Structure 1
Amino acid sequence: MTSMQTSKPTLNPALRPFWTTRARNKVLYGGRSSSKSWDAAGFAIFLADHYPLRFLCTRQIQNKIEESVYALLKIQINRFGLRHRFRILDNKIINRHTGAEFIFYGLWRHIEEIKSLESVDVLWNEEAHAITEAQWEILEPTIRKEGSECWFIFNPRLVTDYVWRNFVIDPPPNTLVRKINYEENPFLSSTMKDVINAAKTRDPETFEHVYLGVPRTDDDNAVIKLSWVEAAIDAHKKLGFEPSGRKRLGFDVADSGADKCANVYRYGSIVYWADEWKAKEDELMKSCNRTYNAALERGAEIVYDSIGVGAGSGSKFEEINADRKAADPWRSTAVQYTKFNAGEGVHEPDEVYQPGILNKDFFANLKAQTWWLVAERFRNTYNAVKNGEKFDVDQMISIDSDCPLLEKLKYELSTPHRDFDKNGRVMVESKKDLAKRDVPSPNIADAFIMSFAPTDTSVDVWRILGSQ
């Protein structure tokens, strides 16, 4: 008889194939009351009682040991009658006979310490929905022992979450994904069944999210909701409007580290093209040439980020125009360009934004104003596509489904949160604050926003050169 064979029910039989199948990544997700963490703890105790394994148990925030799976493991040890085989210490649990141990870390404060850990057999990520891309870049190579496994246990939160996108929607090789909900939990009490049934009747949408593990599409804190962006894909085809108006190319200039340059091209209300590339600070001319050629090819004007390293872009574009003019005095084309300074004061500050509220009283800066105006276009488009409401074309927005980097663009547009300054005016989450959430700089989204900026294009450079 093994130590798991007791007179009490132990693990969920429905999950036995999941636990006994070897895989580098094991992803177990679903709604509340589905026995996910309970079962993971039970199987971990079984393994620890038979093999000399080292378990690294993590969660995003862990201010004290009781916030980890430590308490759950203790409960399972007692349920299986194994208290005499384990030493339960203040900060770890050790099997007296196999030497297996459980150690506990909070990722947010201790991710750098985890890099130095050795000989981890199982990484158990509890509440794994919160893991960021930057954290995973540290965790994955840390779990390097032959045959080691990474467990992801979580209730889905948002479709934009890193773990959802990269381990459920598009999992890497050798990944086992299993969804489980309360219907498969043989240990669910009748009291909890009544609670769940009441929730289903009271609020079906919340019930699906909480108890059926359906991730939410929209982050309520986001300036632009993902559902709005989704509705705008090919909206010009759905609603039957053609491109008309200005052709603009937004240019986000990389200024540090892992940051990248980006271009987004729009013709009127329709976005057709995006590009992103890595460039060093001393390669500004190279990036400006790339942007210039993209604008020239499309007959577009350029709106460029004038903060930081991008401040010199205007002089580079002027230089390129001058060189082209010198090479061919009869050349009839030159690319127009204008700067975009996100921290600058709002456009038309004394104009009314809402009844009784001026632009300067509602928006903290030009960045906030531009994001809000684009968000309004997206919301209008959503209401036109989903609800049949009517709007002028210049009050809507469409993204062609053939636009490169579309999935990344959708994610970046719906990621920044709204914020407020000390005077109550709206702001958009800064790159510094995004970094605190381990969210990379939304380069393509910034270029997208710039292409719709309410700024006055600079004087026609060709006319200036032509008059010389």
Structure 2
Amino acid sequence: MKRPEKIQARIEPRFEPLLHPKPYKVLYGGRGGGKSWVVARVILSLAYARPLRILCCREIQDSIAESVKKLLDDEISRLGLGWFYHSTRTAIVGLNGTEIIFTGLRYNHESIKSMEGIDLVWVEEAQSISRDSLDTLVPTIRKSGSEIWFTLNPRKKDDPVYADYVLTERPDTLKIQVNYTDNPHLPDKLLAEATLCKAMYPQRYRHIWLGEPCESEGQILNPDWWCWYLDRAQILPRISATLISADTAYKAKDGCDYSVIQRWGVEGTRRAYLLNQWRERAEFPDLLLNAKRLWTAWRQDKQLPRPRTLFIEDKASGQSLVQTLRRQGVHATPWKPEHYSFPSDKAGRARECAWLAYGEAVWLPDGEPWTQTFVDECADFRDDDSHLHDDQVDSMGIALSVWRRMGGGRHLGLSDPSS
């Protein structure tokens, strides 16, 4: 059969840079973008034009069924190139000498080091690639003009490929972000899933569908676990009690801790809603003034049950605030973790909150100007105490510990803290 001069492989204009040489090329983004299909089509087109030795790999590949071979076979059929490419059980070869092979990285470091003459590497699901595997692969692909392509749905900011090739600005790297909104062939079912996720869980939507990384090493409070409410009026009838919690500091200088006062509404034992938050660096007079102001305003809010007390962590600054507020007629209660069967260490408290968030029991208001600050601080909280601030996390821990004592989270199978 005479070889056609061209094949019917339409490539979107935004992906045409993939056709031009660059040592590293990264396609990253959320679910439904069609990244892998784009790469398969471009690779098969390039290998049709000239003979290439291509390695397709992922971190773990225990069988050929776990590779992208099926995807490439399907694209060969779609392009009408079955006459040109011959697919064996473990490889794909072209009439011009092109060879496409498949392997896993984690358990094949030595065999990868011995590979010669690789023109192009496609690393699929590159968010899962370990540092050892990346450090083995990159120096191995040393043929002049060779390229390494990565496709990934970002997971953690410090995943090796994301950190080295997306977050880092490199002149040797082409980066293309691809999301479901860029896919003209997106199935209606996926569009419906994305739309629903955006409405109900905005933070989860940004991670799953827009490819925003959410985790980092040592992270306890995963941003993907928060639930979101859009309309306060809809949740007001469900709230059976309100709680006020405070984590305090007395210095207003830059770099010092913040004081945080939060109001939570709880829906029986099933859900806790963060309703309001005040957060500032404040000296004692301003802290006292704002604590009294918020206590009065939230006590007078007739749309919600009255809070019975203001829980303040029983530490040096908090002790003084409790005593002063009591003298001025505010019902303030010193909070100690042991009184609520709550861990005494900050990381342990954060893990208790994380279990509740993971069980979709903690709900945040979407659209409030302070919400993203709350989410970011929680996401940055580390079990090694390397985070910059934890005041919002501490205030949340106080409120949720009280709710747990009331039975909150019992439906998740968590142990009863009062037992």
**What is the TM-score normalised by the length of structure 1?**
0.49
CA contact (8 A) 1:3 1:46 kept: no
- CA distance in structure 2 between the aligned counterparts of 1:106 and 1:213, rounded to whole angstroms: 24
Equivalent position SS for 1:123:
strand
CA drift of 1:166 comes to 1.1
Letter aligned with residue 5 of structure 1: Q
- CA distance in structure 2 between the aligned counterparts of 1:101 and 1:390, rounded to whole angstroms: 57
Give 2:8's match in structure 1, choosing from 5, 9, 31: 5
Going from structure 1 to structure 2, the CA distance change for 1:376 and 1:389 (only over 3 Å counts) comes to: farther
Deviations 1:368-425 (A, max 9, x none): xxxxxx849678942x25787799xxxxxxxxxxxxxxxxxxxxxxxxxxxxxxxxxx
Query: Is 1:145 the counterpart of 2:137 in the alignment?
Result: no
1:31-430 paired onto structure 2 within 5 Å: 31-96=30-95, 98-218=96-216, 222=218, 235-236=255-256, 355=341, 375=383, 381-382=389-390, 384=391
- CA distance in structure 1 between the aligned counterparts of 2:395 and 2:6, rounded to whole angstroms: 63
- CA distance in structure 1 between the aligned counterparts of 2:395 and 2:344, rounded to whole angstroms: 30
- CA distance in structure 2 between the aligned counterparts of 1:83 and 1:205, rounded to whole angstroms: 43
- CA distance in structure 1 between the aligned counterparts of 2:184 and 2:344, rounded to whole angstroms: 59
CA drift of 1:151 comes to 0.2
Going from structure 1 to structure 2, the CA distance change for 1:357 and 1:83 (only over 3 Å counts) comes to: closer
Letter aligned with residue 149 of structure 1: E
CA contact (8 A) 1:57 1:102 kept: yes
Could you say which residue in structure 1 is the equivalent of 2:299? none
Deviations 1:307-350 (A, max 9, x none): xxxxxxxxxxxxxxxxxxxxxxxxxxxxxxxxxxxxxxxxxxxx
Deviations 1:137-190 (A, max 9, x none): 211111111111110110000112111111111144311111111111111122
- CA distance in structure 2 between the aligned counterparts of 1:223 and 1:15, rounded to whole angstroms: 35
Equivalent position SS for 2:100:
strand
CA drift of 1:238 comes to 5.3
Going from structure 1 to structure 2, the CA distance change for 1:157 and 1:93 (only over 3 Å counts) comes to: same
CA drift of 1:55 comes to 0.5
- CA distance in structure 1 between the aligned counterparts of 2:34 and 2:118, rounded to whole angstroms: 25
Deviations 1:77-101 (A, max 9, x none): 00011111111011110002x1101
- CA distance in structure 2 between the aligned counterparts of 1:70 and 1:165, rounded to whole angstroms: 27
Equivalent position SS for 2:256:
helix
Unaligned runs of 5+ in 1: 228-233, 243-351, 363-373, 392-468
CA drift of 1:217 comes to 3.7
CA drift of 1:12 comes to 3.4
State the percentage of identical aligned residues.
Answer: 34
- CA distance in structure 1 between the aligned counterparts of 2:343 and 2:126, rounded to whole angstroms: 43
- CA distance in structure 2 between the aligned counterparts of 1:50 and 1:380, rounded to whole angstroms: 53
Going from structure 1 to structure 2, the CA distance change for 1:353 and 1:175 (only over 3 Å counts) comes to: farther
Going from structure 1 to structure 2, the CA distance change for 1:226 and 1:195 (only over 3 Å counts) comes to: closer
CA contact (8 A) 1:27 1:153 kept: yes
Unaligned runs of 5+ in 2: 224-253, 260-280, 284-337, 349-381, 399-419
CA contact (8 A) 2:115 2:140 kept: yes
- CA distance in structure 2 between the aligned counterparts of 1:43 and 1:172, rounded to whole angstroms: 23
Could you say which residue in structure 2 is the equivalent of 1:23? 22
CA contact (8 A) 2:257 2:389 kept: no
Equivalent position SS for 1:118:
coil
- CA distance in structure 2 between the aligned counterparts of 1:174 and 1:358, rounded to whole angstroms: 49
CA drift of 1:356 comes to 9.7
How many matched pairs?
Answer: 258
Deviations 1:208-261 (A, max 9, x none): 111101110456xx365699xxxxxx752656699xxxxxxxxxxxxxxxxxxx
Could you say which residue in structure 2 is the equivalent of 1:399? none
Going from structure 1 to structure 2, the CA distance change for 1:192 and 1:141 (only over 3 Å counts) comes to: same
Going from structure 1 to structure 2, the CA distance change for 1:353 and 1:134 (only over 3 Å counts) comes to: farther
Going from structure 1 to structure 2, the CA distance change for 1:148 and 1:390 (only over 3 Å counts) comes to: closer
- CA distance in structure 1 between the aligned counterparts of 2:184 and 2:198, rounded to whole angstroms: 20
- CA distance in structure 2 between the aligned counterparts of 1:36 and 1:60, rounded to whole angstroms: 18
- CA distance in structure 2 between the aligned counterparts of 1:166 and 1:11, rounded to whole angstroms: 27
- CA distance in structure 2 between the aligned counterparts of 1:119 and 1:199, rounded to whole angstroms: 45
Letter aligned with residue 21 of structure 1: H
Deviations 1:252-277 (A, max 9, x none): xxxxxxxxxxxxxxxxxxxxxxxxxx
**What is the TM-score normalised by the length of structure 2?**
0.55
Could you say which residue in structure 1 is the equivalent of 2:269? none
Equivalent position SS for 1:83:
coil
Could you say which residue in structure 2 is the equivalent of 1:297? none
CA contact (8 A) 1:29 1:180 kept: yes
